Structure 1
Protein backbone atom coordinates (compact mmCIF):
# COMPACT_ATOMS: atom_id res chain seq x y z
CA UNK A 1 0.00 0.00 0.00
CA UNK A 2 1.19 3.51 -0.76
CA UNK A 3 2.70 5.11 2.33
CA UNK A 4 2.39 8.79 3.18
CA UNK A 5 4.31 9.95 6.25
CA UNK A 6 4.33 13.70 7.06
CA UNK A 7 7.22 14.82 9.25
CA UNK A 8 6.45 17.03 12.26
CA UNK A 9 6.69 20.75 11.62
CA UNK A 10 7.69 23.50 14.01
CA UNK A 11 4.62 25.32 15.39
CA UNK A 12 4.14 28.57 13.54
CA UNK A 13 1.43 31.00 12.65
CA UNK A 14 2.48 30.70 9.01
CA UNK A 15 1.31 27.78 6.89
CA UNK A 16 4.37 25.54 6.41
CA UNK A 17 5.74 24.90 2.96
CA UNK A 18 5.39 21.29 1.92
CA UNK A 19 7.76 19.08 -0.09
CA UNK A 20 6.49 15.86 -1.64
CA UNK A 21 9.33 13.30 -1.60
CA UNK A 22 8.63 10.48 -4.04
CA UNK A 23 10.27 7.07 -3.93
CA UNK A 24 8.75 5.54 -7.08
CA UNK A 25 9.69 1.96 -6.24
CA UNK A 26 7.71 -0.19 -3.79
CA UNK A 27 10.46 -0.78 -1.21
CA UNK A 28 9.49 1.07 1.96
CA UNK A 29 12.97 0.59 3.48
CA UNK A 30 14.36 2.95 0.84
CA UNK A 31 11.79 5.58 1.74
CA UNK A 32 12.47 5.16 5.46
CA UNK A 33 16.19 5.68 4.86
CA UNK A 34 15.49 9.10 3.31
CA UNK A 35 13.78 10.55 6.38
CA UNK A 36 16.85 11.07 8.64
CA UNK A 37 18.75 12.53 5.68
CA UNK A 38 16.07 15.02 4.66
CA UNK A 39 14.63 16.09 8.03
CA UNK A 40 17.72 18.07 9.20
CA UNK A 41 17.81 19.89 5.85
CA UNK A 42 14.33 21.38 6.19
CA UNK A 43 13.97 24.93 7.53
CA UNK A 44 11.40 25.35 10.36
CA UNK A 45 8.84 26.61 7.87
CA UNK A 46 9.01 23.42 5.78
CA UNK A 47 7.65 19.91 6.18
CA UNK A 48 8.00 16.81 4.02
CA UNK A 49 5.56 14.11 2.99
CA UNK A 50 7.03 10.78 1.88
CA UNK A 51 5.45 8.68 -0.86
CA UNK A 52 6.35 5.06 -1.63
CA UNK A 53 5.28 3.43 -4.87
CA UNK A 54 2.40 0.93 -4.68
CA UNK A 55 2.94 -2.86 -4.84
CA UNK A 56 2.48 -2.73 -8.62
CA UNK A 57 5.65 -0.63 -8.84
CA UNK A 58 8.98 -2.53 -9.12
CA UNK A 59 10.76 -3.12 -5.78
CA UNK A 60 13.93 -1.77 -7.35
CA UNK A 61 14.34 0.40 -10.45
CA UNK A 62 17.17 -1.30 -12.30
CA UNK A 63 16.65 -0.23 -15.90
CA UNK A 64 14.59 1.92 -18.24
CA UNK A 65 11.68 -0.53 -18.30
CA UNK A 66 11.45 -0.40 -14.50
CA UNK A 67 11.41 3.40 -14.64
CA UNK A 68 8.51 3.35 -17.06
CA UNK A 69 6.61 0.75 -15.03
CA UNK A 70 7.05 2.72 -11.82
CA UNK A 71 5.81 5.91 -13.45
CA UNK A 72 2.71 4.11 -14.74
CA UNK A 73 2.00 2.74 -11.27
CA UNK A 74 2.65 5.97 -9.36
CA UNK A 75 1.27 8.75 -11.55
CA UNK A 76 -2.48 8.24 -10.85
CA UNK A 77 -1.78 8.18 -7.10
CA UNK A 78 0.39 11.29 -7.23
CA UNK A 79 -1.89 13.58 -9.18
CA UNK A 80 -4.31 14.20 -6.26
CA UNK A 81 -1.34 15.15 -4.04
CA UNK A 82 0.09 17.90 -6.23
CA UNK A 83 -2.30 20.65 -5.16
CA UNK A 84 -1.33 20.29 -1.49
CA UNK A 85 2.46 20.47 -1.98
CA UNK A 86 4.73 23.36 -2.88
CA UNK A 87 7.51 21.33 -4.54
CA UNK A 88 8.22 17.77 -5.63
CA UNK A 89 11.38 15.65 -5.46
CA UNK A 90 11.67 12.40 -7.44
CA UNK A 91 14.10 10.33 -5.36
CA UNK A 92 15.23 8.01 -8.13
CA UNK A 93 18.63 8.52 -9.73
CA UNK A 94 17.59 8.34 -13.36
CA UNK A 95 16.00 10.39 -16.10
CA UNK A 96 12.73 9.26 -14.54
CA UNK A 97 9.52 9.77 -16.57
CA UNK A 98 7.74 11.19 -13.53
CA UNK A 99 9.83 14.36 -13.71
CA UNK A 100 8.41 15.63 -17.03
CA UNK A 101 5.01 14.05 -16.35
CA UNK A 102 4.54 15.94 -13.09
CA UNK A 103 6.05 19.17 -14.45
CA UNK A 104 3.34 19.13 -17.09
CA UNK A 105 0.66 18.92 -14.39
CA UNK A 106 1.74 21.43 -11.73
CA UNK A 107 3.20 24.91 -11.50
CA UNK A 108 5.22 23.83 -8.45
CA UNK A 109 8.92 23.10 -9.01
CA UNK A 110 9.68 19.44 -9.73
CA UNK A 111 13.18 17.97 -9.85
CA UNK A 112 14.82 14.56 -9.91
CA UNK A 113 17.91 13.76 -7.87
CA UNK A 114 20.03 13.09 -10.97
CA UNK A 115 19.38 16.55 -12.35
CA UNK A 116 19.93 18.20 -8.96
CA UNK A 117 23.26 16.41 -8.45
CA UNK A 118 24.53 17.55 -11.83
CA UNK A 119 23.78 21.19 -10.96
CA UNK A 120 25.54 20.89 -7.61
CA UNK A 121 28.54 19.15 -9.16
CA UNK A 122 29.08 21.88 -11.73
CA UNK A 123 28.90 24.53 -9.00
CA UNK A 124 31.42 22.64 -6.87
CA UNK A 125 33.83 22.29 -9.79
CA UNK A 126 33.65 26.04 -10.28
CA UNK A 127 34.29 26.64 -6.60
CA UNK A 128 37.33 24.35 -6.60
CA UNK A 129 39.13 26.59 -9.06
CA UNK A 130 40.61 23.57 -10.83
CA UNK A 131 40.68 24.23 -14.55
CA UNK A 132 39.13 21.38 -16.47
CA UNK A 133 37.92 19.53 -13.38
CA UNK A 134 35.31 16.82 -13.88
CA UNK A 135 32.53 15.11 -11.97
CA UNK A 136 31.39 11.50 -12.20
CA UNK A 137 28.80 9.10 -10.83
CA UNK A 138 29.06 5.91 -8.79
CA UNK A 139 25.88 3.93 -9.39
CA UNK A 140 24.31 0.52 -8.77
CA UNK A 141 23.94 -2.04 -11.60
CA UNK A 142 26.03 -2.02 -14.77
CA UNK A 143 22.95 -1.28 -16.90
CA UNK A 144 22.92 2.24 -15.46
CA UNK A 145 26.37 3.14 -16.78
CA UNK A 146 25.17 3.87 -20.32
CA UNK A 147 21.72 5.10 -19.25
CA UNK A 148 23.09 7.69 -16.83
CA UNK A 149 25.87 8.74 -19.20
CA UNK A 150 23.27 9.46 -21.88
CA UNK A 151 21.02 11.34 -19.42
CA UNK A 152 23.86 13.54 -18.18
CA UNK A 153 25.08 14.30 -21.70
CA UNK A 154 21.55 15.33 -22.65
CA UNK A 155 21.41 17.69 -19.67
CA UNK A 156 24.80 19.19 -20.50
CA UNK A 157 24.41 19.21 -24.28
CA UNK A 158 27.51 17.03 -24.53
CA UNK A 159 30.12 15.46 -22.30
CA UNK A 160 31.26 18.80 -20.89
CA UNK A 161 33.03 18.22 -17.58
CA UNK A 162 31.60 14.76 -17.11
CA UNK A 163 34.09 11.99 -16.29
CA UNK A 164 31.61 9.13 -16.64
CA UNK A 165 29.84 6.46 -14.59
CA UNK A 166 31.09 3.42 -12.69
CA UNK A 167 28.88 0.78 -11.06
CA UNK A 168 28.94 -1.43 -7.99
CA UNK A 169 27.10 -4.29 -9.66
CA UNK A 170 24.42 -4.18 -6.95
CA UNK A 171 20.79 -3.34 -7.66
CA UNK A 172 19.21 -0.61 -5.54
CA UNK A 173 17.36 -3.01 -3.26
CA UNK A 174 20.52 -5.08 -2.75
CA UNK A 175 22.21 -2.07 -1.14
CA UNK A 176 20.01 -2.72 1.88
CA UNK A 177 20.49 -6.50 1.90
CA UNK A 178 24.20 -7.18 1.40
CA UNK A 179 26.57 -7.03 4.33
CA UNK A 180 28.24 -3.75 5.15
CA UNK A 181 31.67 -5.16 4.33
CA UNK A 182 30.67 -6.18 0.81
CA UNK A 183 28.83 -2.90 0.22
CA UNK A 184 31.86 -0.83 1.22
CA UNK A 185 34.16 -3.02 -0.90
CA UNK A 186 31.98 -2.56 -3.98
CA UNK A 187 31.57 1.18 -3.43
CA UNK A 188 35.31 1.51 -2.89
CA UNK A 189 36.22 -0.33 -6.07
CA UNK A 190 33.81 1.75 -8.18
CA UNK A 191 35.05 4.97 -6.59
CA UNK A 192 38.73 4.21 -7.16
CA UNK A 193 38.01 3.47 -10.81
CA UNK A 194 36.12 6.74 -11.21
CA UNK A 195 38.62 9.04 -9.52
CA UNK A 196 41.70 7.40 -11.08
CA UNK A 197 43.47 9.08 -13.95
CA UNK A 198 41.87 6.95 -16.65
CA UNK A 199 43.54 4.71 -19.17
CA UNK A 200 47.27 5.22 -19.42
CA UNK A 201 48.19 7.28 -22.43
CA UNK A 202 44.62 8.21 -23.27
CA UNK A 203 44.47 11.83 -24.35
CA UNK A 204 42.58 14.00 -21.87
CA UNK A 205 42.06 11.17 -19.39
CA UNK A 206 41.23 12.62 -15.99
CA UNK A 207 39.65 11.33 -12.83
CA UNK A 208 36.60 12.83 -11.20
CA UNK A 209 37.08 15.51 -8.56
CA UNK A 210 33.40 15.47 -7.60
CA UNK A 211 31.57 12.17 -7.13
CA UNK A 212 27.78 11.81 -7.22
CA UNK A 213 26.07 9.03 -5.28
CA UNK A 214 24.08 7.57 -8.15
CA UNK A 215 21.20 5.99 -6.25
CA UNK A 216 18.78 7.22 -3.58
CA UNK A 217 19.65 4.02 -1.71
CA UNK A 218 23.25 5.25 -1.32
CA UNK A 219 22.33 7.88 1.25
CA UNK A 220 24.80 7.82 4.11
CA UNK A 221 27.71 6.43 2.04
CA UNK A 222 29.57 9.72 1.62
CA UNK A 223 32.40 8.69 3.97
CA UNK A 224 32.94 5.40 2.13
CA UNK A 225 33.52 7.26 -1.13
CA UNK A 226 35.80 9.83 0.49
CA UNK A 227 37.92 7.11 2.09
CA UNK A 228 38.20 5.11 -1.13
CA UNK A 229 39.41 8.21 -2.97
CA UNK A 230 42.04 8.85 -0.28
CA UNK A 231 43.37 5.34 -0.83
CA UNK A 232 44.47 6.38 -4.33
CA UNK A 233 45.75 9.75 -3.17
CA UNK A 234 42.70 11.81 -4.13
CA UNK A 235 40.49 14.22 -2.23
CA UNK A 236 36.98 14.45 -3.67
CA UNK A 237 33.74 16.26 -2.97
CA UNK A 238 30.74 13.93 -2.71
CA UNK A 239 27.26 14.98 -3.84
CA UNK A 240 24.22 13.19 -2.45
CA UNK A 241 21.45 13.72 -5.00
CA UNK A 242 18.75 13.64 -2.32
CA UNK A 243 20.45 16.41 -0.34
CA UNK A 244 21.04 18.37 -3.55
CA UNK A 245 17.41 18.04 -4.61
CA UNK A 246 16.09 19.24 -1.26
CA UNK A 247 18.49 22.17 -1.37
CA UNK A 248 17.34 23.20 -4.84
CA UNK A 249 13.66 22.99 -3.97
CA UNK A 250 13.93 24.80 -0.63
CA UNK A 251 15.72 27.60 -2.45
CA UNK A 252 13.03 27.81 -5.12
CA UNK A 253 9.81 27.57 -3.15
CA UNK A 254 8.13 30.93 -2.73
CA UNK A 255 10.62 32.65 -5.04
CA UNK A 256 9.65 31.37 -8.48
Structure 2
Protein backbone atom coordinates (compact mmCIF):
# COMPACT_ATOMS: atom_id res chain seq x y z
CA UNK A 1 0.00 0.00 0.00
CA UNK A 2 1.19 3.53 -0.79
CA UNK A 3 2.12 5.60 2.26
CA UNK A 4 2.33 9.37 2.79
CA UNK A 5 3.88 10.91 5.90
CA UNK A 6 2.35 14.18 7.13
CA UNK A 7 4.90 16.13 9.15
CA UNK A 8 3.96 18.73 11.75
CA UNK A 9 7.27 20.47 12.50
CA UNK A 10 6.01 22.07 15.70
CA UNK A 11 5.68 20.08 18.91
CA UNK A 12 1.95 20.59 19.54
CA UNK A 13 0.29 17.19 19.17
CA UNK A 14 -3.22 18.66 19.10
CA UNK A 15 -2.38 20.51 15.87
CA UNK A 16 -1.33 17.23 14.29
CA UNK A 17 -4.57 15.61 15.43
CA UNK A 18 -6.52 18.48 13.87
CA UNK A 19 -5.19 17.51 10.44
CA UNK A 20 -6.47 13.94 10.54
CA UNK A 21 -10.19 14.62 9.81
CA UNK A 22 -9.22 16.72 6.77
CA UNK A 23 -7.07 13.95 5.33
CA UNK A 24 -9.61 11.23 6.13
CA UNK A 25 -12.37 13.23 4.39
CA UNK A 26 -10.49 12.95 1.08
CA UNK A 27 -11.16 9.18 1.11
CA UNK A 28 -7.87 8.08 -0.44
CA UNK A 29 -8.45 4.66 1.07
CA UNK A 30 -5.78 2.88 -0.97
CA UNK A 31 -3.11 5.08 0.62
CA UNK A 32 -1.95 4.95 4.22
CA UNK A 33 -1.48 8.33 5.92
CA UNK A 34 0.82 8.50 8.92
CA UNK A 35 1.68 11.49 11.08
CA UNK A 36 4.82 12.88 12.64
CA UNK A 37 4.96 15.60 15.31
CA UNK A 38 8.23 17.28 16.27
CA UNK A 39 9.48 15.52 19.42
CA UNK A 40 10.57 18.87 20.89
CA UNK A 41 11.10 22.48 19.85
CA UNK A 42 8.68 25.34 19.13
CA UNK A 43 5.07 24.78 20.16
CA UNK A 44 4.01 27.13 17.37
CA UNK A 45 6.05 28.32 14.39
CA UNK A 46 5.55 32.07 14.49
CA UNK A 47 8.45 33.29 12.33
CA UNK A 48 11.37 32.14 10.19
CA UNK A 49 13.62 31.60 13.22
CA UNK A 50 11.10 29.13 14.67
CA UNK A 51 10.96 27.32 11.33
CA UNK A 52 14.76 27.05 11.19
CA UNK A 53 14.91 25.84 14.80
CA UNK A 54 12.27 23.18 14.15
CA UNK A 55 14.54 21.52 11.58
CA UNK A 56 17.04 20.58 14.29
CA UNK A 57 14.27 18.96 16.32
CA UNK A 58 12.70 17.09 13.37
CA UNK A 59 15.30 16.00 10.85
CA UNK A 60 17.27 13.49 12.97
CA UNK A 61 14.05 11.66 13.93
CA UNK A 62 12.59 11.90 10.43
CA UNK A 63 15.49 10.19 8.69
CA UNK A 64 14.48 6.76 9.97
CA UNK A 65 11.03 7.16 8.33
CA UNK A 66 12.17 8.13 4.84
CA UNK A 67 12.70 4.63 3.49
CA UNK A 68 9.22 3.28 4.14
CA UNK A 69 7.05 6.21 2.96
CA UNK A 70 6.34 7.19 -0.64
CA UNK A 71 5.58 10.90 -0.23
CA UNK A 72 5.98 13.64 2.37
CA UNK A 73 3.93 16.70 3.32
CA UNK A 74 5.36 19.45 5.55
CA UNK A 75 2.34 20.85 7.40
CA UNK A 76 3.64 24.32 8.20
CA UNK A 77 2.48 27.29 6.15
CA UNK A 78 5.83 28.82 5.33
CA UNK A 79 8.72 28.36 2.94
CA UNK A 80 9.83 25.73 5.43
CA UNK A 81 13.46 24.57 5.15
CA UNK A 82 12.42 20.93 5.64
CA UNK A 83 11.02 20.87 2.09
CA UNK A 84 14.37 21.36 0.29
CA UNK A 85 16.29 19.49 3.00
CA UNK A 86 14.16 16.37 2.60
CA UNK A 87 14.43 16.62 -1.18
CA UNK A 88 18.22 16.54 -0.73
CA UNK A 89 18.14 13.29 1.26
CA UNK A 90 19.66 10.50 -0.84
CA UNK A 91 16.86 7.99 -0.20
CA UNK A 92 14.32 10.52 -1.48
CA UNK A 93 16.37 11.66 -4.47
CA UNK A 94 17.24 8.16 -5.65
CA UNK A 95 13.62 6.95 -5.51
CA UNK A 96 12.14 10.27 -6.77
CA UNK A 97 9.84 10.45 -3.75
CA UNK A 98 7.71 13.62 -3.89
CA UNK A 99 7.97 16.20 -1.11
CA UNK A 100 5.92 19.37 -0.76
CA UNK A 101 4.80 21.84 1.87
CA UNK A 102 1.29 23.10 2.44
CA UNK A 103 2.39 26.59 1.35
CA UNK A 104 3.71 25.39 -2.00
CA UNK A 105 0.71 23.10 -2.53
CA UNK A 106 -1.84 25.83 -1.86
CA UNK A 107 -0.18 28.37 -4.18
CA UNK A 108 0.12 25.82 -7.01
CA UNK A 109 -3.49 24.70 -6.57
CA UNK A 110 -4.79 28.27 -6.48
CA UNK A 111 -3.08 29.14 -9.75
CA UNK A 112 -4.79 26.19 -11.43
CA UNK A 113 -8.22 26.99 -9.96
CA UNK A 114 -8.53 30.71 -10.64
CA UNK A 115 -9.50 32.38 -13.91
CA UNK A 116 -6.61 34.10 -15.76
CA UNK A 117 -8.15 37.46 -14.81
CA UNK A 118 -8.31 36.60 -11.11
CA UNK A 119 -5.83 36.65 -8.23
CA UNK A 120 -5.27 34.47 -5.20
CA UNK A 121 -4.38 35.66 -1.72
CA UNK A 122 -3.39 34.31 1.67
CA UNK A 123 -4.93 34.76 5.13
CA UNK A 124 -2.43 34.00 7.88
CA UNK A 125 -1.77 34.52 11.59
CA UNK A 126 0.67 37.11 13.03
CA UNK A 127 1.59 40.31 11.18
CA UNK A 128 5.18 39.11 10.72
CA UNK A 129 3.86 36.64 8.13
CA UNK A 130 2.71 39.40 5.79
CA UNK A 131 6.22 40.14 4.57
CA UNK A 132 7.52 36.57 5.01
CA UNK A 133 4.77 34.98 2.93
CA UNK A 134 4.78 37.77 0.35
CA UNK A 135 8.51 37.25 -0.21
CA UNK A 136 8.06 33.46 -0.20
CA UNK A 137 5.29 33.63 -2.81
CA UNK A 138 7.31 35.89 -5.11
CA UNK A 139 10.31 33.55 -4.74
CA UNK A 140 8.16 30.47 -5.40
CA UNK A 141 6.55 31.99 -8.49
CA UNK A 142 9.91 33.30 -9.71
CA UNK A 143 8.25 36.37 -11.18
CA UNK A 144 9.56 39.29 -9.12
CA UNK A 145 7.25 42.30 -9.24
CA UNK A 146 5.13 40.57 -11.89
CA UNK A 147 3.66 38.41 -9.09
CA UNK A 148 1.16 41.19 -8.40
CA UNK A 149 -0.75 40.18 -11.53
CA UNK A 150 -1.81 36.88 -9.93
CA UNK A 151 -1.13 37.45 -6.22
CA UNK A 152 -3.37 39.74 -4.17
CA UNK A 153 -1.15 39.60 -1.09
CA UNK A 154 -1.34 38.47 2.54
CA UNK A 155 -3.69 39.60 5.29
CA UNK A 156 -3.25 38.49 8.91
CA UNK A 157 -5.37 38.00 12.02
CA UNK A 158 -2.85 38.99 14.68
CA UNK A 159 -3.28 35.55 16.29
CA UNK A 160 -0.64 32.83 16.38
CA UNK A 161 -1.30 29.20 15.47
CA UNK A 162 -2.17 28.08 19.01
CA UNK A 163 -4.43 31.13 19.55
CA UNK A 164 -6.64 29.90 16.71
CA UNK A 165 -7.84 27.14 19.02
CA UNK A 166 -7.20 28.60 22.48
CA UNK A 167 -8.58 32.15 22.08
CA UNK A 168 -12.34 32.81 22.47
CA UNK A 169 -14.17 31.44 19.44
CA UNK A 170 -15.95 34.71 18.65
CA UNK A 171 -12.66 36.62 18.70
CA UNK A 172 -11.11 34.12 16.30
CA UNK A 173 -14.14 34.29 13.99
CA UNK A 174 -14.12 38.10 13.94
CA UNK A 175 -10.40 38.37 13.22
CA UNK A 176 -10.50 35.70 10.53
CA UNK A 177 -13.45 37.29 8.77
CA UNK A 178 -11.96 40.79 8.98
CA UNK A 179 -8.71 39.54 7.41
CA UNK A 180 -10.60 37.81 4.58
CA UNK A 181 -12.64 40.93 3.84
CA UNK A 182 -9.49 43.07 3.67
CA UNK A 183 -7.99 40.57 1.24
CA UNK A 184 -11.08 40.56 -0.99
CA UNK A 185 -10.82 44.33 -1.34
CA UNK A 186 -7.45 43.92 -3.11
CA UNK A 187 -8.84 43.11 -6.53
CA UNK A 188 -10.64 40.26 -8.21
CA UNK A 189 -9.72 37.48 -5.76
CA UNK A 190 -10.76 34.03 -6.93
CA UNK A 191 -9.06 31.93 -4.26
CA UNK A 192 -8.21 32.39 -0.59
CA UNK A 193 -5.44 30.22 0.88
CA UNK A 194 -5.62 29.25 4.55
CA UNK A 195 -2.16 30.39 5.58
CA UNK A 196 -1.68 28.25 8.68
CA UNK A 197 -2.09 24.54 9.41
CA UNK A 198 -3.97 25.63 12.55
CA UNK A 199 -6.72 27.05 10.31
CA UNK A 200 -7.70 23.54 9.26
CA UNK A 201 -11.48 23.20 9.27
CA UNK A 202 -12.18 26.96 9.30
CA UNK A 203 -13.60 27.02 5.77
CA UNK A 204 -17.09 27.95 6.99
CA UNK A 205 -16.09 31.27 8.54
CA UNK A 206 -14.02 32.12 5.44
CA UNK A 207 -17.07 31.45 3.27
CA UNK A 208 -19.23 33.63 5.53
CA UNK A 209 -16.79 36.50 5.09
CA UNK A 210 -16.77 36.05 1.29
CA UNK A 211 -20.57 36.14 1.13
CA UNK A 212 -20.82 39.14 3.47
CA UNK A 213 -18.24 41.08 1.45
CA UNK A 214 -19.17 40.07 -2.11
CA UNK A 215 -22.80 38.95 -1.90
CA UNK A 216 -24.29 35.48 -2.06
CA UNK A 217 -23.59 34.61 -5.70
CA UNK A 218 -20.06 35.98 -6.02
CA UNK A 219 -19.05 35.03 -2.48
CA UNK A 220 -19.83 31.37 -3.13
CA UNK A 221 -17.62 31.37 -6.22
CA UNK A 222 -14.42 32.12 -4.30
CA UNK A 223 -12.35 28.97 -3.81
CA UNK A 224 -11.06 28.29 -0.30
CA UNK A 225 -7.78 26.40 -0.54
CA UNK A 226 -6.61 24.38 2.44
CA UNK A 227 -2.93 23.57 1.97
CA UNK A 228 -3.24 20.24 3.78
CA UNK A 229 -5.94 19.02 1.40
CA UNK A 230 -4.09 20.48 -1.58
CA UNK A 231 -0.83 18.85 -0.52
CA UNK A 232 -2.33 15.41 0.08
CA UNK A 233 -4.21 15.53 -3.23
CA UNK A 234 -1.06 16.50 -5.14
CA UNK A 235 1.06 13.86 -3.41
CA UNK A 236 -1.56 11.20 -4.13
CA UNK A 237 -1.38 12.00 -7.84
CA UNK A 238 2.40 12.33 -7.88
CA UNK A 239 2.94 9.01 -6.11
CA UNK A 240 0.44 7.18 -8.34
CA UNK A 241 1.91 8.69 -11.52
CA UNK A 242 5.51 8.19 -10.45
CA UNK A 243 6.45 11.82 -11.10
* TM-score of the aligned structures, taking structure 1 as reference length: 0.87
1:75 and 2:59 equivalent?
Answer: yes
Q: Which runs of 4+ in 1 moved over 2 A?
A: none
Partners of 1:194 and 1:207 within 8 A in 2: no
- Residue 222 of structure 1 corresponds to 203
Aligned-pair CA distance for 1:42: 4.1
CA deviation profile, 1:172-210 (whole Å, cap 9, x unmatched): 1111101211111000000000001x4xxxxxxx14221
**1:134-182 deviation digits (Å, cap 9, x = unpaired):** 0000000000010001111111122140000000000111111012111
Q: Distance in 2 between matches of 1:241 and 1:44?
A: 20
Residue 132 of structure 1 deviates from its aligned partner by: 2.0
CA gap 1:42/1:99 in 2 versus in 1, 3 angstroms: farther
Instruction: Name the counterpart of 2:162.
Output: 173
Q: What is residue 142 of structure 1 aligned with on the other side? A: 127
Please say if 1:28 is aligned against 2:9.
no
Structure 2: how far apart are the matches of 1:195 and 1:209?
9
C-alpha displacement of 1:40: 2.3
Per-residue CA distance 1:79-107 (angstroms, 9 max, x = gap) = 11000100000000000000000011113
Q: Tell me the matched-pair count.
A: 228
More off after superposition, 38-47 vs 246-255? 38-47
- From 98, 110, 117, give the equivalent of 1:132: 117
Q: 1:84 is matched with which residue?
A: 68
Residue of structure 2 equivalent to 1:5? none
Q: Decide whether the 8 Å contact of 1:67 with 1:97 is kept in 2.
A: yes
**Which segments of 5 or more consecutive residues in structure 1 lack a partner in the other structure?**
1-15, 199-205
Query: Is residue 99–residue 112 contact of structure 1 (8 Å, CA) maintained in 2?
Result: yes
Q: Which has the higher helix share?
A: 2
RMSD: 1.1
CA distance in 2, matches of 1:28, 1:146: 28
2:240 aligns to what?
Answer: 254
Counterpart mapping for 1:165-244 below 5 A: 165-196=154-185, 198=186, 206-233=187-214, 234-235=218-219, 236-244=222-230
Aligned position for 1:201: none
What does the per-residue CA deviation read over 1:26-82, in whole Å, with 9 as the maximum and x for residues that have no partner?
A: 001100100111112242211111000112x10000000000000111000001100
TM-score by length of 2: 0.91
